[in-house]
Amino acid sequence: MYIACMTWFIFALLSALFAAFTAILAKIGVEGIPSTLATAIRTSVILPFTWLVVALSREHHALTGVSRRTLTFLVLSGLATGFSWLAYFRALQLGPASRVAPIDKLSLPITALLAGLFLGERLTLPVLGGVTLMAVGALLTLL
């Protein structure tokens, strides 16, 4: 399937699929080494991989048009990602993937609430109901 024809929904499903594999592969990979080292190794793979994709798609030309504001928020997002990954790998090292991953996915309802608060996205009754069910579902995995 041609990538340009894919909708945001297809990419979101692919993200969920790869995130699931990430949890399983990371749980196996973090055995016997410090979780911060595991995170560093993972990140060392991601950096050249993403730049290769940028180069192959010829998107590197857009780099000169990145505003200071955009760069600032992307750097802050990168720092948040780093903290998230460090915590995630430590959680995987200490707990079962079948429980760590759902708790990590509490980011979904938190994101919806933050999107309403900071981005002005509309939180309809179905959206609020859905995020509530997500949170309850994640917390049920602790029982």
Contact 72, 79 (CB under 8 A): no
CA distance 93 to 89: 6
**91 and 22 co-located in one domain:** yes
**Is 118 found in the same domain as 84?**
no
Same structural domain, 25 and 81: yes
Could you give the angle at the alpha carbon of 52 between the alpha carbons of 59 and 18, nearest 5°? Answer: 100
Ranges of the chain with pLDDT below 70: 1-6
Look up the domain containing 46 and give its range.
3-95
What is the structure's pLDDT at 132? Answer: 96
* Predicted pLDDT of residue 4: 57
CA-based end-to-end distance of the chain: 41
Asked whether residue 61 falls in the same domain as residue 110, the answer is no
pLDDT in the model for residue 1? 46
What's the domain count of the chain? 2
Any domain includes 58? yes
Same domain (yes/no): 112, 77? no
CA distance 101 to 92: 8
| Residue-level pLDDT at 11 | 86
Backbone torsion region of residue 71, taken as left when φ is above 0, otherwise alpha when ψ lies between -120 and 50, otherwise beta:
alpha
Q: What is the pTM of this model?
A: 0.82
In a domain, 35, yes or no: yes
- Nearest CA-CA partner of 83 in 18, 20, 35: 35
| Residue 25 φ/ψ, nearest 5 degrees | -65, -40
pLDDT recorded at residue 5: 58
- As a residue count, the chain comes to 143
Half-sphere exposure of 98 (CA within 13 A, CB side): 4
